[in-house]
Structure 1
Amino acid sequence: MGTRYFAGKLVAQNYAIYRPSYPDSVFALCIDFLKNGISNEANKFPLAVDVGCGTGHQSTVPLAKYFDSVLGVDIGEKQIAEAKKSKHPENVAFQVSAGEALPVENETVSLLQVAAAAHWMDIVQFYKEADRVLTPGGVVALFSYASAPETSNHPKSAEIDPILKEIANRPEERGCFVSGNYMVRRRYADECFQIPYADKTRIDNIIHPITNTVEDYIKFCKTLSPIRKMEEAEPDLTKQWMEDATARLLNALETTDMSSKFTYNLEVHMLLGRKPH
């Protein structure tokens, strides 16, 4: 995991507050796929590892009810520091580590999960590491949010959605997209992402509705690496544009209150693969 867009302390704190978690259905799909390949009479599987865990609440903690132990790893020391400070179940632990060199023994991991981080990794080396740590029948799962959000059944969707799309696309227009961002836009369809196991599947169009305030939505957007890169490259221009986009979003919502709430959908795509027995 050589790319460190989320290493700073303030970034980690904002990440913990404003990044949305994934829907329960995503984790249920991982567990269902795992159960189809491993007979398990106990209530829980032994160990899951969440790679690129960030501050933990988005993708690590939801695994706690399915496993005896869950380890969240991230290359960012500040991210792990925030994760350790957060309230989490006793069977969840966090550790600084790259996803390409995990601090676990051979064939001990039932589920190796990567949420919105695989596009920052050496994916070839990661798949080699996955094969080392996964138990026979163990599952590797990659997923991420893909497209610009859209509002959910809002009477002003025709006015709101183009603004949400503009916020999502502006960094690309300003030359602030890198290869990882394009990989996400392509929904991990690149050949390098295809899991090197025969038993694998792809799941698209998992819709996750999120209700948020305008203020929290804008702060969520500011945790995204392309917008952060744009802020670094053009601070004054980006500040002016973001303020203008926020004002137009409020106007479309027919409010001046930043605490006003609206519901938008994020779309999740998944890749699942099983290590042969």
Structure 2
Amino acid sequence: MSVASSHNHDSLQKNTTERYFEDKLVAQNYAIYRPPYPDSVFIASVNFLNSNATNEANKFPFAVDVGCGTGHQSTVPLAKYFDSVLGVDISKEQISEAEKSKHPENVNFKVSAGESLPVEDETVSLLQAATAAHWMNLDKFYKEADRVLTPGGVIALFSYSSGFQTLDHHHSAEINAILEEMEDRPYKRGFYAAGNCKLKRRYTDNCFLIPYTDTVRLNNIPQPVTATVEGFLGFYSNQSPFRRMKEAEPDLTAKWMEDVTTRLLNTLETTGMSSEFTYNLEVHMLLGRKPHQPK
């Protein structure tokens, strides 16, 4: 990996306390550009929860979404499966945006770290973290999960992959080469923090192993996203590695972004930032069930 002269990759790796999503503009862009997850992800969690349920209920009492962001991506979709849903995030700005958003009455939001949740013991049926687990202290999180989960309750950790692939375009190969360049640039220039590297490895590090015997890993869940060119670039440029790169190398990054945007538009055979195209993000998912009996 090459390293930008003004940035040190090792220091990024060691900085586990930096908060990447506190900025108000970042939170607003998160709400605008971050794509929601496919229903299949939430159905997988509920099906796993149902597969060993001790009752015949089709709806469970309480779910908590850790690192909920602005809410629409992963918290609100749980509302139809649970009587009550709580979204928590360590960022006050993210929670502020979530509270302002349109959401069902059974969904609430609070500022909280995932390692210290504002809920009672053994009250949570589903504890999920969507594209958030790689920022947490997982040893502490798993201890907290064991405290709050009901017997038979489920942990669900999932995230989209770090790569983009176009779907059904006659210039897919050329477009994908540009998208791969965009994905690789912050990594190759040394702007990936430890959490970003864990995400890039798709939660295969041992630290992600859920400490229960009943666990499942699901790979390559399709997450097709149709977005305008502007929307895609907004999503891309709001990710933390790009923001670090832009901050450290503003002129170089601006020039490169202008060039890569022009090439992307040309390859898509359009001049309009409002033109749409479809790309795919694959979701990887870890599920684990707390035992019904004490360990």
- Aligned residue pairs total 277
Q: What is the letter of the counterpart of residue 230 of structure 2?
A: E
Match of 2:87 in 1: 72
Deviation at 1:41, TM superposition (A): 3.0
Equivalent residue for 2:108, pick from 74, 86, 93 = 93
Q: Tell me how far apart the structure 2 counterparts of residues 253 and 243 of structure 1 sit (CA, whole Å).
A: 15
Match of 1:39 in 2: 54
Aligned partners of 1:43 and 1:66 also within 8 Å: yes
Q: Tell me how far apart the structure 2 counterparts of residues 112 and 260 of structure 1 sit (CA, whole Å).
A: 38
Q: Tell me how far apart the structure 1 counterparts of residues 283 and 259 of structure 2 sit (CA, whole Å).
A: 29
Match of 2:218 in 1: 203
State the 4+ residue runs in structure 1 displaced beyond 6 angstroms: none
Query: Is 2:99 aligned against 1:84?
Result: yes
Q: Tell me how far apart the structure 1 counterparts of residues 59 and 241 of structure 2 sit (CA, whole Å).
A: 38
Deviation at 1:42, TM superposition (A): 3.3
SS in 2 for 1:90: coil
Q: Tell me how far apart the structure 1 counterparts of residues 192 and 75 of structure 2 sit (CA, whole Å).
A: 27
Closer/same/farther in 2, CA of residues 94 and 26 from structure 1, 3 Å limit: same
Match of 1:265 in 2: 280
Closer/same/farther in 2, CA of residues 249 and 200 from structure 1, 3 Å limit: same
Match of 1:243 in 2: 258
Query: Is 2:153 aligned against 1:138?
Result: yes
Deviation at 1:3, TM superposition (A): 3.5
Q: How big is each residue's C-alpha offset from its partner over 1:119-142, in whole Å with a ceiling of 9 and x where there is no partner?
A: 000011000000000000000000
Match of 1:105 in 2: 120
Match of 1:215 in 2: 230
Q: How big is each residue's C-alpha offset from its partner over 1:6-46, in whole Å with a ceiling of 9 and x where there is no partner?
A: 10110000000000000000000000000012133334101
Q: Tell me how far apart the structure 2 counterparts of residues 147 and 17 of structure 1 sit (CA, whole Å).
A: 19
Q: Tell me how far apart the structure 2 counterparts of residues 20 and 184 of structure 1 sit (CA, whole Å).
A: 17
SS in 1 for 2:156: strand
Q: What is the letter of the counterpart of residue 65 of structure 2?
A: D
My pick for the range that moved more, 21-30 or 206-215, is: 206-215
Q: Which runs of 5+ in 1 are unaligned?
A: none
Query: Is 2:134 aligned against 1:119?
Result: yes
Match of 2:25 in 1: 10
Q: Tell me how far apart the structure 2 counterparts of residues 63 and 196 of structure 1 sit (CA, whole Å).
A: 24
Q: Tell me how far apart the structure 2 counterparts of residues 203 and 90 of structure 1 sit (CA, whole Å).
A: 31
Match of 1:58 in 2: 73
Equivalent residue for 1:184, pick from 199, 216, 240 = 199
Query: Is 2:170 aligned against 1:148?
Result: no
Q: Tell me how far apart the structure 1 counterparts of residues 287 and 147 of structure 2 sit (CA, whole Å).
A: 17
Deviation at 1:176, TM superposition (A): 0.2
Q: Which runs of 5+ in 2 are unaligned?
A: 1-15
Two-structure CA RMSD over aligned residues (Å): 0.9
TM-score by length of 2: 0.92
